């Protein structure tokens, strides 16, 4: 490949120092490279379309897992692979560290890499449709009271949870909020949908794993004491408010995210190392 787009997290790459260094190196190697600086939480498709239309073959994402996840959501359905360069701390997706940038760029030019495809989810609520690589979280935004969530799978009622919220996760997102809430860790190239309640008011609630073809509907029923403000957040983006008796429909997204893998390390090797470093 010889045409690159660098998406730089403005908070982690001050002055676009790393982005400029990458462009300088790639141009020395007779490659085309453009870069765009983005504000975390405000990564949108329209900011990237111009560069995609110019024929970018690869998107280098500077920041951390959060930045890469936001870029993936913005580019869902676009057949361009992403490579994360870690300027943060704990990174599962952003596997390239700063001291490996130059040799990594040289390998990309030589097409010496692998690509993994990761499934994504689509959430529709209040007439708004959004895609997520990691997870979709439905949770209370107001006072600290449990909310009743009724979950349907393929039109049939699965269960009712009294909880702070519900996490619907992909395998990629299993090591994120899902893990913190007690959900299972899943190999990221698998095709599974995970449902994990957040702080359920029960002693026997367990996460549920579903087929990627299953369609999920989460209905919010508030509680009998007061009305609750509920939000739906995709990949940690700003939550969209949901009415007290609203619903969210979730299914597998049509697009996938292509992640460039430079390391020959397996998922379990990376997981063990990251957990030891925490």
Could you list the active site residues?
65
- In sequence order, what DSSP letters do the residues of 22-65 get, joined into one string? HHHHHHHTT-EEEEEEE-TT---HHHHHHHHHTT--EEEEEE-H
Token pair for residue 204?
A: 């026997």
CA angle 159, 228, 73 (to 5 degrees): 70
How far is it, in rounded angstroms, from Cα 196 to Cα 209?
A: 9
How far is it, in rounded angstroms, from Cα 109 to Cα 86?
A: 20
- Residue 242 to residues 46, 119, 141, 216, 224: CA-CA distances in angstroms? 26, 25, 10, 16, 17
Strand partners, 234: 136
How far is it, in rounded angstroms, from Cα 64 to Cα 9?
A: 8
């Amino acid at each position: 490949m010889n045409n690159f787009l660098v998406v730089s997290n403005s908070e982690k790459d001050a002055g676009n120092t790393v982005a400029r260094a990458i462009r300088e190196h790639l141009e020395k190697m007779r490659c085309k490279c453009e870069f765009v600086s983005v504000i975390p939480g405000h990564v949108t498709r329209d900011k990237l379309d111009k560069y995609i239309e110019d024929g970018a073959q690869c998107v280098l994402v500077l920041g951390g897992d959060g930045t890469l996840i936001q870029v993936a959501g913005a580019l869902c359905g676009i057949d361009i692979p992403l490579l994360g360069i870690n300027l943060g701390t704990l990174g599962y997706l952003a596997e390239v560290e700063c001291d490996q940038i130059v040799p990594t760029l040289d390998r990309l030019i030589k097409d010496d890499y692998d690509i993994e495809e990761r499934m994504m989810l689509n959430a529709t609520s209040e007439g708004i449709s959004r895609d997520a690589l990691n997870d979709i979280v439905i949770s209370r935004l107001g006072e600290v009271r449990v909310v009743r969530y009724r979950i349907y799978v393929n039109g049939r009622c699965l269960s009712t949870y009294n909880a702070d919220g519900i996490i619907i996760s992909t395998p990629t997102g299993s090591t994120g909020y899902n893990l913190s809430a007690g959900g299972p860790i899943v190999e990221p190239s698998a095709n599974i949908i995970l449902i994990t309640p957040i702080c359920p008011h029960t002693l026997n609630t367990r996460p549920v794993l579903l087929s990627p073809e299953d369609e999920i509907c989460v209905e919010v029923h508030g509680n009998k004491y007061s009305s609750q403000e509920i939000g739906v957040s995709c990949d940690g983006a700003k939550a969209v408010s949901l009415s007290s008796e609203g619903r969210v429909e979730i299914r597998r997204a049509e697009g996938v995210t292509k992640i460039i893998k430079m390391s020959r390390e397996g998922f379990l090797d990376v997981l063990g190392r990251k957990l030891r470093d925490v």
